[in-house]
Structure 1
Amino acid sequence: MSLYDIRKDIEACVDAETGEIIDAEKLASLQVERDEKISNIACWIKNLLIDIEGIKAERKKLAERQAVMEHKAASLKAYLADFLDGKKWHDARSALSFRKTERIEIADGAVVPEEFLKTSVTV
């Protein structure tokens, strides 16, 4: 039974015109049920809030782990690039190659075609 239904039943136990209690025993049991329902919902809310905090903490830990792994991958890429000194390398599981790129400077206000704005890095 929902709190709404309990409230309707409690109102039915009291005469609307005189305020006289029609069924005191039922009213008392409904009030106990109402208090228990309110307490259970309040505990549920507390549990949800605790779960939310746990999820936030886990997200933070995972974001930190991700950042460490991204840094490690970038560091290892730089290490291999330095070691291979621009030479291609491959085996059955991986292949490494390098492209010669040039740095350009774009004047303020210049319009750059869309196809030149896309960049990608592959391993």
Structure 2
Amino acid sequence: MTLKIWTWKKKYEGFLAYSRSKLALIMFTFDLADELTAKNIIVNAIHPATLMKTNMVSEHFGIPLSSVKKGRKALTALASSKEVTGEFFDGKRRAKALEQAYDIKSREKLKRMTEDHLYNYLKT
């Protein structure tokens, strides 16, 4: 993910935006896990299932490859686990996220960009 691209001033690309948002969520999840480890709060990122039968999948991809039930089972298993934190899962198995998700400098930059972008909305 190129962190310079933030506001889509040129041409908006839906799938690229979706992919970048998922990477950003994984990056934020890893940071949150680091912050909450001392409090014994478990935080993980999960890709519950590929192309589940949802409205978004039906509208953009057609035939689903997996069920919402399968995704729910993966989410439930991970949410009830107390064994691991700060990890990425593909379904019920531990997986490797994109390399940028593990890069602390990229995560710090994303956090700063997010805070800068939201500053006017969040100031009191």
TM-score tier, shorter chain, comes to: under 0.3
Task: Give the greater-gyration-radius structure (CA).
Answer: 1
By relative contact order (CA 8 Å, sep 6+), the higher-ranking structure is 2
TM-score calculated relative to the size of structure 2: 0.26
* Between structures 1 and 2, the one with greater strand share: 2
TM-score calculated relative to the size of structure 1: 0.26
